[in-house]
Amino acid sequence: MSSEQLTLKGNINHSVVFWCFNIAGECWDMEKTCEVARSLGCKSIEISEPEDWPTLKKHGLICALAPNGMPGAPFVKGLNNRAYHDEVKAATRRMIDACAEYGFPNVIAFTGYKWKDAEDPNSGEISLEEGADNCVEALRELATYAEEKGVTICLEHLNTRDDTHPMKGHPGYQGDDIDYVAGIVRRVGSPRVKLLFDIYHVQLMNGDVMRRLEQNIDVIGHVHTAGNPGRCELDENQEINFPPILRKLVELGYTGYVGHEFIPTRDPLEGLRQAVELCDV
């Protein structure tokens, strides 16, 4: 794959999701990821930790979507469970503070798993209604803080169908329906609480991606890409037709970031370059 620098159209703000390439065969460190991002015209390295943000700044990049600060798998213990509210809210506030200090826009958030003990499927389930109510309660409190700091919280929808790999799907995650998650965001009613629209997860759980974009554009704060099946490269071996989806985003007036979050199965640079070129509409 050519190392020639890409010249992009400027309609899409491309972002690289760090964990995907940090676990890939080459295990890119932050310095390498920044160099690649710059060469491909990407503006952000997201899901990167605050200790790496000086490196991003050095390369003229931002973190378009910060992690939520929870240890381990951050999507397990979430806002749907009151037992974890104090821990999740404290971690989220710390990350909001860090974003405000650096001038970065967004922090990720999760509903969490549906079990009363998030890590024990035998502990009983939190109902959808209770889970939504708990998310709204916590997000309204966090929204007040986020509004003061000028940072947006993006609540992510994840798929529960793929059980082949811990990062390809998340069986047990309560927010696996895009309408359910968008409904939580709308109930919060804050401009600083938005929906993270992951095209891969939406394709698995709901489909009808372009119509879903139209229905939810008013609450979409961030977008992710990956090929399906397998959360793989955006190539001819997967089923999602990305160019018209990205054109729809542009048509709808979306001006946020698009994070490329696929798990490489071949040369990571080749795959990332292909994703950027395909989505640069």
- How is residue 73 annotated by DSSP? S
Q: CA 39 to CA 45: how far, in whole Å?
A: 13
Catalytic residue status for 156: yes
Which amino acid is it at 217?
Answer: I
Q: Which residues pair with 195 in a beta bridge?
A: 155, 220
Are 75 and 158 within 8 A, CB to CB?
Answer: yes
* Bridge-based pairing state of the strands 106-110 and 13-17: unpaired
Q: Give me the catalytic one of 26, 141, 148, 156.
A: 156
Tokens of 47: 């899901």
Are 121 and 161 within 8 A, CB to CB?
Answer: no
Q: How far is CA 101 from the centre of its chain?
A: 21
3-state secondary structure of 221: strand
Catalytic residue status for 261: yes
Q: For every residue of 27-72, which 3-state class applies, written as one string? A: CCCHHHHHHHHHHCCCCEEECCCHHHHHHHHHCCCECCCECCCCCC
Q: Give me the catalytic one of 4, 87, 261, 270.
A: 261
Residues tagged active-site: 156, 261
